[in-house]
Amino acid sequence: MLRFDIITIFPEFFREAIDCGIVRRARNAGLVEIIAHDLRQWTTDKHHVVDDRPFGGGDGMVLKPEPIFAGVEALTGAARREDLPPNTRVVLLSAQGEVFAQALAKDLSQSDSRIVLLCGRYEGVDERVADALVTDEVSIGDYVLSGGEPAAMVIIDAVVRLLPGALGSETSAVNESFSEGLLDYPQYTRPPDFRGMRVPETLLSGNHAEIARWRKEAALEKTRRKRPDLLNR
Ligand code: SAM
Protein backbone atom coordinates (compact mmCIF):
# COMPACT_ATOMS: atom_id res chain seq x y z
CA MET A 1 0.00 0.00 0.00
CA LEU A 2 1.16 3.54 -0.73
CA ARG A 3 1.92 5.42 2.43
CA PHE A 4 2.42 9.14 3.06
CA ASP A 5 4.06 10.38 6.26
CA ILE A 6 3.82 14.14 6.60
CA ILE A 7 6.21 15.94 8.93
CA THR A 8 4.74 19.31 9.89
CA ILE A 9 4.29 21.71 12.77
CA PHE A 10 0.57 21.85 11.86
CA PRO A 11 -0.70 18.25 11.68
CA GLU A 12 -4.23 19.58 12.23
CA PHE A 13 -4.06 21.17 8.76
CA PHE A 14 -4.54 17.71 7.25
CA ARG A 15 -7.32 16.42 9.48
CA GLU A 16 -10.21 17.49 7.27
CA ALA A 17 -8.27 17.76 4.02
CA ILE A 18 -7.61 14.02 3.92
CA ASP A 19 -11.11 13.21 5.08
CA CYS A 20 -13.18 14.16 2.05
CA GLY A 21 -13.80 13.11 -1.53
CA ILE A 22 -11.53 10.75 -3.42
CA VAL A 23 -8.72 10.87 -0.84
CA ARG A 24 -11.08 9.76 1.90
CA ARG A 25 -12.51 7.00 -0.27
CA ALA A 26 -9.03 5.76 -1.20
CA ARG A 27 -8.05 5.66 2.47
CA ASN A 28 -11.21 3.78 3.39
CA ALA A 29 -10.57 1.31 0.57
CA GLY A 30 -7.08 0.59 1.93
CA LEU A 31 -5.30 2.03 -1.14
CA VAL A 32 -3.33 4.62 0.78
CA GLU A 33 -2.37 5.48 4.32
CA ILE A 34 -1.77 9.12 5.24
CA ILE A 35 -0.36 10.11 8.61
CA ALA A 36 0.50 13.65 9.71
CA HIS A 37 3.23 13.76 12.37
CA ASP A 38 3.97 16.70 14.63
CA LEU A 39 7.60 17.71 14.11
CA ARG A 40 7.80 18.82 17.75
CA GLN A 41 7.67 15.21 18.99
CA TRP A 42 11.26 14.83 17.74
CA THR A 43 12.64 17.74 19.76
CA THR A 44 14.63 17.02 22.90
CA ASP A 45 14.26 20.29 24.83
CA LYS A 46 11.59 21.24 27.32
CA HIS A 47 9.91 23.82 25.05
CA HIS A 48 9.92 21.67 21.88
CA VAL A 49 11.70 24.32 19.86
CA VAL A 50 11.88 23.53 16.13
CA ASP A 51 13.33 26.81 14.79
CA ASP A 52 16.22 29.14 15.36
CA ARG A 53 17.71 32.36 13.98
CA PRO A 54 19.65 32.19 10.71
CA PHE A 55 23.44 32.23 10.86
CA GLY A 56 24.72 35.38 9.18
CA GLY A 57 21.75 37.43 10.35
CA GLY A 58 18.60 38.40 8.51
CA ASP A 59 14.87 38.24 9.09
CA GLY A 60 12.85 35.35 10.36
CA MET A 61 13.54 31.90 11.66
CA VAL A 62 14.76 28.67 10.10
CA LEU A 63 13.59 25.12 10.87
CA LYS A 64 16.39 23.33 12.69
CA PRO A 65 17.88 20.16 11.22
CA GLU A 66 17.91 17.93 14.33
CA PRO A 67 14.15 17.20 14.71
CA ILE A 68 13.75 16.72 10.96
CA PHE A 69 16.61 14.20 10.72
CA ALA A 70 15.29 12.47 13.86
CA GLY A 71 11.79 12.32 12.41
CA VAL A 72 12.88 10.84 9.09
CA GLU A 73 15.07 8.35 10.95
CA ALA A 74 12.18 7.33 13.22
CA LEU A 75 9.88 6.82 10.21
CA THR A 76 12.26 5.18 7.74
CA GLY A 77 15.18 3.83 9.79
CA ALA A 78 17.60 6.03 7.82
CA ALA A 79 19.06 9.44 8.60
CA ARG A 80 20.82 9.92 5.26
CA ARG A 81 19.53 9.75 1.71
CA GLU A 82 21.80 6.88 0.69
CA ASP A 83 20.58 4.65 3.54
CA LEU A 84 16.86 4.96 2.77
CA PRO A 85 15.02 1.67 2.18
CA PRO A 86 14.00 0.88 -1.42
CA ASN A 87 10.86 2.65 -2.68
CA THR A 88 11.22 5.36 -0.05
CA ARG A 89 11.18 9.00 -1.06
CA VAL A 90 11.78 11.97 1.18
CA VAL A 91 10.18 15.00 -0.43
CA LEU A 92 10.97 18.51 0.76
CA LEU A 93 8.29 21.03 -0.18
CA SER A 94 10.17 24.12 -1.29
CA ALA A 95 9.65 27.13 -3.55
CA GLN A 96 13.09 26.31 -4.94
CA GLY A 97 12.35 22.75 -6.05
CA GLU A 98 11.42 21.01 -9.28
CA VAL A 99 7.98 22.25 -10.33
CA PHE A 100 5.40 19.55 -9.65
CA ALA A 101 3.72 18.08 -12.72
CA GLN A 102 1.70 15.03 -13.72
CA ALA A 103 4.81 13.00 -14.60
CA LEU A 104 6.12 13.28 -11.03
CA ALA A 105 2.65 12.49 -9.64
CA LYS A 106 2.67 9.31 -11.72
CA ASP A 107 6.17 8.45 -10.58
CA LEU A 108 5.15 8.86 -6.93
CA SER A 109 1.99 6.79 -7.32
CA GLN A 110 3.78 3.41 -7.38
CA SER A 111 1.65 1.35 -5.05
CA ASP A 112 4.30 0.14 -2.63
CA SER A 113 6.03 3.51 -2.18
CA ARG A 114 6.66 5.18 1.14
CA ILE A 115 6.68 8.95 0.78
CA VAL A 116 7.78 11.29 3.54
CA LEU A 117 6.65 14.89 2.96
CA LEU A 118 8.63 17.56 4.81
CA CYS A 119 6.72 20.82 5.26
CA GLY A 120 8.83 23.92 5.75
CA ARG A 121 7.73 27.07 7.57
CA TYR A 122 9.15 30.51 8.39
CA GLU A 123 12.17 31.36 6.21
CA GLY A 124 12.55 27.71 5.26
CA VAL A 125 14.53 24.66 6.31
CA ASP A 126 18.21 24.32 7.25
CA GLU A 127 19.97 23.54 3.96
CA ARG A 128 21.59 20.36 5.34
CA VAL A 129 18.19 18.70 5.08
CA ALA A 130 18.12 19.25 1.31
CA ASP A 131 21.81 18.36 1.02
CA ALA A 132 21.84 15.04 2.88
CA LEU A 133 18.33 13.77 3.48
CA VAL A 134 15.84 14.50 0.74
CA THR A 135 15.40 12.60 -2.50
CA ASP A 136 13.15 15.20 -4.13
CA GLU A 137 12.80 18.94 -3.61
CA VAL A 138 9.41 19.90 -5.02
CA SER A 139 7.65 23.21 -5.64
CA ILE A 140 3.99 23.49 -6.63
CA GLY A 141 4.61 26.68 -8.61
CA ASP A 142 6.58 29.88 -8.85
CA TYR A 143 5.10 31.67 -5.86
CA VAL A 144 5.84 31.62 -2.15
CA LEU A 145 3.50 29.96 0.35
CA SER A 146 3.69 30.46 4.11
CA GLY A 147 4.28 26.76 4.62
CA GLY A 148 4.65 23.44 2.85
CA GLU A 149 1.30 22.06 4.09
CA PRO A 150 -0.90 23.23 1.17
CA ALA A 151 1.78 21.98 -1.25
CA ALA A 152 1.90 18.58 0.48
CA MET A 153 -1.87 18.31 0.15
CA VAL A 154 -1.70 19.17 -3.56
CA ILE A 155 0.80 16.35 -4.08
CA ILE A 156 -1.22 13.85 -2.04
CA ASP A 157 -4.39 14.64 -3.98
CA ALA A 158 -2.72 14.42 -7.40
CA VAL A 159 -0.98 11.13 -6.52
CA VAL A 160 -3.92 9.42 -4.83
CA ARG A 161 -6.28 9.89 -7.78
CA LEU A 162 -3.79 7.96 -9.93
CA LEU A 163 -3.93 4.86 -7.72
CA PRO A 164 -5.77 2.03 -9.47
CA GLY A 165 -9.30 1.91 -8.03
CA ALA A 166 -9.15 5.37 -6.42
CA LEU A 167 -11.57 6.92 -8.87
CA GLY A 168 -15.04 5.49 -9.08
CA SER A 169 -16.11 3.70 -12.25
CA GLU A 170 -17.77 6.92 -13.37
CA THR A 171 -14.44 8.68 -13.78
CA SER A 172 -11.02 7.78 -15.04
CA ALA A 173 -7.61 9.39 -14.85
CA VAL A 174 -6.75 8.08 -18.32
CA ASN A 175 -8.48 10.84 -20.30
CA GLU A 176 -7.72 13.69 -17.94
CA SER A 177 -5.67 16.78 -18.72
CA PHE A 178 -1.92 16.03 -19.00
CA SER A 179 -2.34 12.25 -19.03
CA GLU A 180 -1.78 12.22 -22.80
CA GLY A 181 0.09 15.51 -22.98
CA LEU A 182 -3.10 17.42 -23.84
CA LEU A 183 -5.79 19.27 -21.91
CA ASP A 184 -9.06 17.43 -21.39
CA TYR A 185 -11.80 17.92 -24.01
CA PRO A 186 -14.74 20.23 -23.14
CA GLN A 187 -17.42 18.61 -20.99
CA TYR A 188 -21.17 19.34 -21.09
CA THR A 189 -24.21 18.06 -19.22
CA ARG A 190 -27.95 18.72 -19.33
CA PRO A 191 -29.72 20.83 -20.45
CA PRO A 192 -28.71 20.64 -24.15
CA ASP A 193 -29.83 24.26 -24.60
CA PHE A 194 -29.08 26.66 -21.75
CA ARG A 195 -30.05 30.29 -22.39
CA GLY A 196 -29.43 29.83 -26.08
CA MET A 197 -26.01 28.19 -25.57
CA ARG A 198 -26.25 24.82 -27.27
CA VAL A 199 -24.20 21.71 -26.60
CA PRO A 200 -22.32 20.67 -29.78
CA GLU A 201 -24.66 18.51 -31.90
CA THR A 202 -22.11 15.67 -32.25
CA LEU A 203 -22.26 14.98 -28.50
CA LEU A 204 -26.04 14.54 -28.74
CA SER A 205 -25.82 12.26 -31.78
CA GLY A 206 -25.20 8.96 -29.99
CA ASN A 207 -22.56 8.12 -32.63
CA HIS A 208 -19.62 6.97 -30.47
CA ALA A 209 -17.00 7.05 -33.22
CA GLU A 210 -18.00 10.60 -34.15
CA ILE A 211 -18.00 11.63 -30.49
CA ALA A 212 -14.50 10.19 -29.95
CA ARG A 213 -13.25 12.06 -33.04
CA TRP A 214 -14.90 15.30 -31.91
CA ARG A 215 -13.35 14.99 -28.44
CA LYS A 216 -9.87 14.35 -29.80
CA GLU A 217 -10.04 17.39 -32.08
CA ALA A 218 -11.58 19.55 -29.35
CA ALA A 219 -8.81 18.55 -26.90
CA LEU A 220 -6.18 19.47 -29.47
CA GLU A 221 -7.84 22.80 -30.28
CA LYS A 222 -8.22 23.67 -26.60
CA THR A 223 -4.59 22.81 -25.87
CA ARG A 224 -3.43 24.89 -28.87
CA ARG A 225 -5.47 27.86 -27.65
CA LYS A 226 -4.81 27.68 -23.89
CA ARG A 227 -1.52 25.82 -23.45
CA PRO A 228 0.48 25.78 -26.69
CA ASP A 229 3.60 25.02 -24.62
CA LEU A 230 2.24 21.48 -24.05
CA LEU A 231 2.18 20.82 -27.80
CA ASN A 232 5.72 22.15 -28.20
CA ARG A 233 6.90 19.63 -25.60
N1 SAM B 1 12.62 31.74 2.12
C2 SAM B 1 12.05 30.79 1.20
C3 SAM B 1 12.37 31.18 -0.21
O4 SAM B 1 12.43 32.38 -0.50
O5 SAM B 1 12.51 30.28 -1.06
C6 SAM B 1 10.54 30.71 1.38
C7 SAM B 1 10.11 30.05 2.62
S8 SAM B 1 8.35 29.84 2.72
C9 SAM B 1 7.82 31.34 3.47
C10 SAM B 1 8.11 28.63 3.96
C11 SAM B 1 7.90 27.22 3.47
O12 SAM B 1 6.77 27.15 2.62
C13 SAM B 1 9.02 26.62 2.66
O14 SAM B 1 10.06 26.12 3.46
C15 SAM B 1 8.32 25.53 1.89
O16 SAM B 1 8.21 24.34 2.66
C17 SAM B 1 6.93 26.12 1.70
N18 SAM B 1 6.73 26.66 0.35
C19 SAM B 1 6.71 27.96 0.00
N20 SAM B 1 6.46 28.12 -1.30
C21 SAM B 1 6.31 26.89 -1.83
C22 SAM B 1 6.05 26.38 -3.13
N23 SAM B 1 5.89 27.19 -4.17
N24 SAM B 1 5.97 25.04 -3.30
C25 SAM B 1 6.14 24.21 -2.24
N26 SAM B 1 6.40 24.63 -0.98
C27 SAM B 1 6.48 25.94 -0.77
Q: Residue 88: pLDDT above 90?
A: yes
| pLDDT given for residue 161 in this prediction | 96
Same domain? For 46 and 75 the reply is yes
- Between the CA of 136 and the centroid of ligand 1 the distance, in Å, is 14
Let me know: does 147 contact 141? Beta carbons within 8 Å: no
| pLDDT given for residue 156 in this prediction | 98
Report the percent of the chain where pLDDT is more than 70. Answer: 98
- The answer to the question of residue 54 being in a domain is yes
Same domain? For 130 and 216 the reply is no
- Between the CA of 19 and the centroid of ligand 1 the distance, in Å, is 25
CATH code, domain carrying 91: 3.40.1280.10
Q: Residue 170: pLDDT above 60?
A: no
Atom of ligand 1 nearest to the CA of 143: 23
Residue 73 is part of which domain span? 2-160
Same domain? For 98 and 203 the reply is no
| Listed residues 160, 191, 219: the one ending a domain | 160
Q: Residue 59: pLDDT above 90?
A: yes
Alpha carbons 119 and 115: distance in angstroms, whole number = 13
Let me know: does 72 contact 79? Beta carbons within 8 Å: yes
Same domain? For 182 and 92 the reply is no
Same domain? For 152 and 214 the reply is no
- Model pLDDT for residues 136-164, shown as the tens digit of each residue: 999 999 999 999 999 999 999 999 999 99
| 3-class DSSP state of 220 | helix
| pLDDT class of 171 with cuts at 50, 70, 90 | low
130 CB within 6 A, ligand 1: no
Q: Residue 79: pLDDT above 90?
A: yes
- The answer to the question of residue 166 being in a domain is no
Q: Residue 57: pLDDT above 60?
A: yes
Alpha carbons 62 and 55: distance in angstroms, whole number = 9
Domain count, the chain: 2
Provide the 10 A C-beta neighbour count for residue 196.
Answer: 5
Same domain? For 52 and 138 the reply is yes
Our CA dihedral for 11, 15, 19, 21, rounded to 10 degrees, sits at: -70
| Listed residues 99, 133, 160: the one ending a domain | 160
CATH code, domain carrying 212: 1.10.1270.20
Same domain? For 100 and 187 the reply is no
The full 3-state SS of 44-87, as one line of letters, equals CCCCCCCEECCCCCCCCCEECHHHHHHHHHHHHCCCCHHHCCCC
* Cα angle 32, 38, 41; round to 5: 125
Alpha carbons 157 and 28: distance in angstroms, whole number = 15
58 CB within 6 A, ligand 1: no
Same domain? For 97 and 153 the reply is yes
Same domain? For 105 and 179 the reply is no
| pLDDT given for residue 38 in this prediction | 98
Which residues touch 34 (CB under 8 Å, ≥6 apart)?
A: 3, 4, 6, 14, 18, 23, 27, 156
- The answer to the question of residue 62 being in a domain is yes
Alpha carbons 148 and 6: distance in angstroms, whole number = 10
Q: Residue 61: pLDDT above 60?
A: yes
Same domain? For 179 and 129 the reply is no
Same domain? For 14 and 56 the reply is yes
94 CB within 6 A, ligand 1: yes
Same domain? For 154 and 184 the reply is no
DSSP per-residue string spanning 150-201? HHHHHHHHHHHTTSTTSS-TT--STTSTTTTSSPPPP---S-SEETTEEPPH
| pLDDT given for residue 46 in this prediction | 98
| pLDDT class of 176 with cuts at 50, 70, 90 | confident
| Listed residues 108, 134, 160: the one ending a domain | 160
- The answer to the question of residue 165 being in a domain is no
- The answer to the question of residue 217 being in a domain is yes
Which residues touch 167 (CB under 8 Å, ≥6 apart)?
A: 22, 161, 173
* Packing angle of the helix pair 21-28, 149-160 (nearest 10 deg): 60
- The answer to the question of residue 170 being in a domain is no
123 CB within 6 A, ligand 1: yes
Question: What is the torsional sign of CA 13, 154, 185, 171?
Answer: negative
Q: Provide mean pLDDT across the span 124-140.
A: 98
41 CB within 6 A, ligand 1: no
| pLDDT class of 188 with cuts at 50, 70, 90 | very high
